[in-house]
Structure 1
Amino acid sequence: MTRGVRPPAPSLKAKAINQTAVECTWTGPRNVVYGIFYATSFLDLYRNPKSLTTSLHNKTVIVSKDEQYLFLVRVVVPYQGPLSDYVVVKMIPDSRLPPRHLHVVHTGKTSVVIKWESPYDSPDQDLLYAIAVKDLIRKTDRSYKVKSRNSTVEYTLNKLEPGGKYHIIVQLGNMSKDASIKITTVSLSAPDALKIITENDHASSVLEKPGFKGKAF
């Protein structure tokens, strides 16, 4: 036994950020070297783990695809510190990655151009995307399908309403994680003039809007 105060155990958080990378962050003493230990089973974690060292409080660990890993961290220099609680991390399968960088390129009165990148660089086959458009005012839904092998995909959504509010969701296939954005289309300006014509038993209103003659509103 040694004298002194037992060092606190690190508090570890770990999550998969893509198919092969795990981002580990933890809290604990400074000016020490930490060891990150990981394996696919409890037996390997305590008997023969893979490990990395760092003097920081975060580290990205590269692992194999489609596996489940157990992670823990402890101080290894200048002393053997207590172990953190273990964290279970299940790697993200290829088919569950969400589209990247979904954003709006152009917003009009009745249409919106959206753009996104494929879940991984340079796809080697056509990818089928599902696009859901939820009208937040009328509470209606529409869906579209887009097939593309490009790393960047651009798509135009038509037949929207001026001044409408929409929630747009894009995902790869039926089982992938999704990317989403909320948009508001451009509102129509007010009519230039309004006339009220009164008759004996009714009143008529006439709206004047140059540039929109022949269009129904």
Structure 2
Amino acid sequence: MLTDAHSHRVNTGEVNTVYNVRINDDPMSLPHGPRLYFSVGIHPWDAGRFQPSWLDKLNLLLNYRQVVAIGECGLDKNTEIPMNVQLEVFERQIILSEIALKPLLIHCVGCHNELMELHRKHSPVQAWIVHGFRGKPGLAQQLLKAGFYLSYGGKHNPESVALTPPDRLLMETDDSGKELEEVAATLMAIGKLAPEELTAAEKIFRIK
């Protein structure tokens, strides 16, 4: 079964969905349904309003079986929030990821060098997934060599998709409005992949 690694809505097809939750969302308002999982994190856009209680809430939510990842979290050069503030909030989630044994779903805009430096610094055991990756093949190769996983959506660089090994490739709908089957068909055609090869997400998120 295909898995949508990052979505802002529940898929209608026969797929697993990892639904994105921001830390200040109301848990009571979240959708319910079969094959529905969650990622929860402190988005870099929210780092300027960071409260220590958010980490307590995140730590609590990570105890639920359906919460399979921390994210979105990461770094964004296009926001006005100072980079040192973003780094502090992101590093706290990196540490929590290793303690809770949950992978990171990473929002990264213009900060890939900083991201790779953090990866070298922390030497994580848990997977680091760059969501919505649209970068050029050179950057994709750097990230893959460093140990990252790449998640592709409707907008992507076909050359980067083609060079990504299936065991490091995830797929997502994000907020595109597309069905995952459509995204998957495009990625499989580019990478000459069969559906049974696209199991990285299930393994990383421990979805059975």
Same fold, TM exceeding 0.5?
no
Q: Which protein is bigger by CA-based radius of gyration?
A: 1
Higher strand share: 1
Higher helix share: 2
Could you state the TM-score of these two structures normalised by the residue count of structure 1?
0.21
Could you state the TM-score of these two structures normalised by the residue count of structure 2?
0.22
Instruction: Pick 1 or 2: higher relative contact order, CA cutoff 8 A, min separation 6.
Output: 2
